[in-house]
A = this chain, B = another copy of it.
Amino acid sequence: MATVADGGEAWVIEAVRRRMGPPPTGAIGIGDDAAVLPVPPGGRILASQDMLVEGIHFRRDWMPPERIGAKAVAVNVSDMAAMGGRPFALLMALALPGALDRGWVGRLLDGVAEAAAGAAAPVVGGDTVGSPAGVVLDMAILGTAERPILRAGAQPGDWLVVTGPLGGSAAGLACLEGGAVWPGATALETAALRRHACPPDRLDAGRVLAGCAHAMTDISDGFWTEVDALVQPMGLGAVVDQELLPVWPEAAEVARRVGAPTDAPLHWALTGGEDYELLAAVPDERWPTLQRELWAIDVEAVVVGRVERTPGLRLVRGGQRVSWDPASQGGFDHFGRR
């Protein structure tokens, strides 16, 4: 096995440069002290950053390296989608243990390069460093938006809209924790693993929603947490209808296979996190037109609830309040508390 330490920094930099292709027209890319980028017109740029840490966000024995690289890009792209924006560049900082197999690193970079190309967000710079323990992959993304949609701005009466199924990522995680290995998993497991490892590209949906949404975010930390983040700072509340919630269809079967309780799919959908669908607060009179536009681009967006004046989040079913304590389920806390 050829290790990263054998090749040294020169190998890593060359491995990155070879895969990431030339910089965009008019830009200076990888290899200088900083990238030089022409800014698309519009006058404002979007910038965000998402870090994946081995042992926290991924395990090397749980998925192929291409998927880890692609997911790092996808979660950053999701932040642009959540603003109604369009990415134009990525930076990538990569910390690698010296004993790591160079073949594994090459495949990780293949995943980054393919996903970056798919999002039209070329990797124009970054950093490559050693790591005494696990792999760390931190990407920063730059984009533009004609009309950036913030988390703040929801109004009483707005529909709460999500752009696709929820709970699939948590179902995939349950499969991994139950011992599923990718590749080699069953068809059902693979479907769940894909929900976990391959966040959807919602850039087009984000731009359509940005046409009229009052507020928007992506569902990274769990639906319930994200709804709260949209309404609580505005002094508002929300009601969510359990029967409207687009629980990922295969979740019930996954729950049976992994021996999870029958209500696991609901909890996965409400608090599981990492679904990376968009959540938007949309004025109700605009919704019918908007939904048609979204379905026209194959985004099966649905209403799941409504923003209300009364603070707090309420889950209802058949018009009745459901007694459900989100605190008992918790969202994902990166630092170990639930």
Query: What is the CB-to-nearest-CB distance from A187 to chain B, in angstroms, rounded to a whole number?
Result: 32
B residues within 8 A CB of A335? 4-5, 7-9, 12, 96, 98, 130
- A132 vs B142: C-alpha distance when bound (angstroms): 28
17 A-B residue pairs with Cβ-Cβ distance under 8 Å, sorted by A, are A5-B337, A8-B333, A33-B78, A34-B46, A34-B47, A34-B82, A39-B43, A47-B124, A55-B132, A56-B95, A91-B140, A95-B136, A96-B335, A130-B335, A133-B133, A136-B136, A142-B142
- How many identical chains are in the complex? 2
B residues within 8 A CB of A140? 47, 49, 91, 93, 140
Does A218 have its Cβ within 8 Å of any Cβ on chain B? yes
Does A162 have its Cβ within 8 Å of any Cβ on chain B? no
- A95 vs B142: C-alpha distance when bound (angstroms): 21
Does A21 have its Cβ within 8 Å of any Cβ on chain B? no
A43 with B38: CB separation less than 8 A: yes
Closest to A130 in B: B334
Q: Mark A35-70, 1 if CB is under 8 A from B, else 0.
A: 111110001111111110111110000000000000
Does A32 have its Cβ within 8 Å of any Cβ on chain B? yes
Interface pick from A145-153, A242-250, A291-299: A145-153
Does A79 have its Cβ within 8 Å of any Cβ on chain B? yes
B residues within 8 A CB of A44? 36-39
A38-B44, A56-B129 known; A93-B4 Cβ under 8 A: no
When the two chains form the complex, which single residue of B4, B142, B145 contacts A47, counting CB atoms closer than 8 Å? Answer: B142
What residues of chain A have their CB less than 8 Å away from a CB belonging to chain B? 4-9, 12, 28, 31-39, 43-51, 53-57, 78-80, 82-83, 85, 89, 91-93, 95-96, 98, 124-134, 136, 138, 140-143, 145, 148, 150-152, 216-218, 333-337
Closest to A97 in B: B335
Query: What is the CB-to-nearest-CB distance from A127 to chain B, in angstroms, rounded to a whole number?
Result: 5
A93 with B138: CB separation less than 8 A: yes
A5-B337, A44-B38, A47-B125 known; A133-B134 Cβ under 8 A: yes
When the two chains form the complex, which single residue of B34, B128, B334 contacts A48, counting CB atoms closer than 8 Å? Answer: B34
Query: What is the CB-to-nearest-CB distance from A311 to chain B, in angstroms, rounded to a whole number?
Result: 18
